[in-house]
A and B are shown apart, each in its own frame.
Chain A
Amino acid sequence: MDNKKITITINDQQYKVDAGQTIMQAADQCGYRIPRLCYHPKLSIEGACRVCIVQVAGMKNYVASCAYPVADGMKIDTNSRELRQARRDIVELLLDNHPQDCHTCERDGNCELQRLAYSMGIRHRHFEGERKHYDKDLSSASVIRDPDKCILCGRCVRMCSEIQGVHCLGQAHRGFNTVVMPAYNMPFAETVCTTCGQCINVCPTASFVEKNHTQELFEKLNDPDLIKVAQVAPSVRAAIGESFGLPPGRNMEGQIAATLRRMGFDYVFDTQFSADLTIMEEGSEFLERLQAKGPLPLITSCSSAWMKYMEQFYPDLIENISTAKSPMSMASAMIKTYFAHKIKADPKKILSVAFMCCTAKKYEASRPELDVNGMRATDIVITTRELGWMTKSAGIDFISIKPEKFDEPLGLSSGAGAIFGVTGGVMEAAIRTAYELYTGETLIDIEVNDLRGFKGVKEAKVVMDGQELRLAVAHGLGNAHQVLEMVREDRDRFHFVEVMGCPGGCIGGGGQPYATANSIPLDEECLKARASALYGLDREKTIRRSHENPDVQRLYREFLGRPLSEKSHELLHTHYKAKLPRGIVSPNLKVV
């Protein structure tokens, strides 16, 4: 963009703005917010909905402000009577063939279409258009597609290809019959979909939602024969406040523990504990490979959408993938063995429930290779959004409830476990521990700043006993693709690579609360605030290194022996294999 300033007129007032931007961007700078729907600043411009129309002097037709460039001397009207009417007509047209079931809809109260209709001043409906009726696709373990609610803004399609690089979705057929679907209208479970849930995050309506497991959980909580055990991921505590109208970035872990006990859980554990455990295993695996000279780079594997993406698009790198299970699956494995033994309970009587920021964890939990002694390790996965709803539905006062602590013996965590939720955090946590295990010295400056922040691909160097370690971090599957291409080209380029499947890491997971009225999905300010909650948690802790967590030490002493022991291998490690559903194309795709 050039820095030239130009003068434009909006609604009879003159403004100096940067040249080379769209009318919408210029108007945003001048204190306007032109209504919009298909536009998203992180995605390419679609220009499909025409909700953002403005009048430009000298032009016969209204123009879509998200797609039209400003020019010097341009006179723009954003709010004339005719324009307001035209905009309103456009939204009414969308509503005409939209199911009118807001009050039984998953997005009720959280829906961009609802908000838009309200702000257009649509208060009653004159006309009922023809409706579309398609079956919902319920095949996926994580993501439900409901074409009846789709308004064809195309955001999900662009999200899935431009940010995630998965290219699962497209618009098929034409006109009134257009439907967003995967190739050949295949059931979702059979497609390349990684279950990341980012299409859910960007969809303005309820056309993509997660597979809901709240009813099943409520039911099981009523079963007196079950021992109900919960675990809570780091990023859930950093975001759930938003479901209750709090600004993003509040750490609500104490409120969550208190809430889950009132909901009927007997034990509430912390996934941050098992994040420390993951570091012990993965850090040791890294050192072992470093000493044995390979295979390197070691690539992290705790992000479930990333697991599936890697198995589909990069099966040639499987030997580089860490065999350490994710923190969720490690905690679940310990719950059904170590903990069951401690409380002298039959593990089959234990209901293991994971509260996660992630829709892909629902898929991960269903992977048979993660079963423990023939049982599912994680019985139910509930997203942050679902937890917010359950709390309200159970009539629990989340905001003013007195915070409580997590339970022993899987509840204590180091600061390293907390930052697992942010891009770069797993690497930072691993370095804190690996450095000390390798050199025998204490790492003084434990905050590795080069690994922090939201740059798509971050690179850093750490010197360990005279040896330089080259590190890379990627968040969002599209960025992962970039790093992996570098790895394919030159296996010696990095020693250690961290990948998280979602933008920002788990804090931007596909199961996090929807954007509120004043924000947009994937808003970077919101992600920053959530990240700072976790970095704050880290700083508050006296123990900031995983290997110093006394309960992790106890677990090794009493049960596992040492990292990478036979028992650890049996319970805390897994394996991956190539998966090639239809629709896999070499990831060097053109975005068409």
Chain B
Amino acid sequence: MATQTQELTAPLTDEQKLAQVREFIAEVMTHEHPDSYLIAVLHRTQELYGYLPTEVMDEIAQEMGIPTAHIWGVATFYHYFNLAPPGKHVISVCLGTACYVRGAAQILQTIKDELKIDVGDVTEDGLFSLQPARCLGACGLAPVVMIDDKIHGELTPKKVTQLINQYRKQANK
């Protein structure tokens, strides 16, 4: 499938993404037991969109002849499927052992309170989404969070609030 290079070219339009999902489905429908490829189809969708838009799940239901309620069941069962578009900035809170013993739970709680969202959700303004992470390989700096691809270490509740506010200020510029 000729999609690995998409980052190098212009971003795909929604129509192009949908066409790719359709193409992928058409391919799996030629196999035996095409229903067993549902998860693969959802993965492909998430690769393209960054999450699983419900409109696309409707489309998958039609094309594969699988009830939407069932697709929704599968999409919600696995943690790795995002059900909402990710925020502009993705905050990953490390809950690995080193971070945990140094207060990761408290950091996580502070972020939840500050953003008024739960893990897996996106803030109302679409600026942040929040997800848990296993060891980020920066145990020396524990407790650690990663925002997009930048690591921030030796955090305290106060520091992490300041950090969030920095991103907010930037966004307001």
> Of B35, B58, B72, which contacts A592 at CB under 8 A?
B35
The chain B residue sitting closest to A582, CB to CB, is B58
Give Cα A181 to B68, complex, Å. 11
A183 touches B71 (CB 8 A): yes
B67 touches A167 (CB 8 A): yes
B72 touches A586 (CB 8 A): no
Instruction: Tell whether A583 pairs with B35 under 8 Å between CB atoms, given A173-B76, A184-B54.
Output: no
Give Cα A183 to B77, complex, Å. 13
Instruction: Tell whether A184 pairs with B67 under 8 Å between CB atoms, given A173-B77, A174-B77, A590-B35.
Output: no
CB distance from A43 to the nearest CB of B (A): 16
As a 0/1 sequence over residues 154 to 168 of chain A, the CB contacts with chain B under 8 angstroms (1 = contact) are: 000100010000011
A171 touches B67 (CB 8 A): no
Give Cα A167 to B67, complex, Å. 6
**Which size class do A's interface residues fall under?**
20 to 34
The reply to whether the CB of B139 lies closer than 8 angstroms to some CB of chain A is no
CB distance from B116 to the nearest CB of A (A): 19
Give Cα A170 to B73, complex, Å. 6
The chain A residue sitting closest to B69, CB to CB, is A170
> Of A183, A589, A590, which contacts B72 at CB under 8 A?
A183
Give Cα A181 to B76, complex, Å. 11
The reply to whether the CB of A417 lies closer than 8 angstroms to some CB of chain B is no
A583 touches B62 (CB 8 A): no
A167 touches B69 (CB 8 A): yes
A167 touches B76 (CB 8 A): no
A348-401: which residues lie under 8 A (CB-CB) from chain B?
A: none
Q: Which residues of B contact A592 (CB under 8 A)?
A: 35, 66-67, 70
The reply to whether the CB of B95 lies closer than 8 angstroms to some CB of chain A is no
Give Cα A185 to B76, complex, Å. 11
The chain B residue sitting closest to A160, CB to CB, is B69
Give Cα A582 to B66, complex, Å. 13
Q: Which residues of B contact A184 (CB under 8 A)?
A: 54, 57, 68, 72
B68-108: which residues lie under 8 A (CB-CB) from chain A?
A: 68-73, 76-77
Give Cα A582 to B54, complex, Å. 10
B65 touches A183 (CB 8 A): no
B68 touches A183 (CB 8 A): yes
The reply to whether the CB of B61 lies closer than 8 angstroms to some CB of chain A is yes
Give Cα A182 to B67, complex, Å. 10
A585 touches B65 (CB 8 A): yes
CB distance from B20 to the nearest CB of A (A): 21
3 closest Cβ pairs, A-B complex: A170-B69, A167-B67, A183-B68
Q: Which residues in B have some Cβ–Cβ distance to A below 8 Å?
A: 35, 54, 57-58, 61-62, 65-73, 76-77
Q: Which residues in A have some Cβ–Cβ distance to B below 8 Å?
A: 157, 161, 167-174, 181-185, 582-583, 585-586, 588-590, 592
Sample of 12 A–B contacts (CB below 8 Å): A168-B69, A170-B73, A172-B73, A181-B69, A182-B69, A182-B72, A183-B57, A183-B69, A184-B54, A582-B58, A589-B65, A592-B70
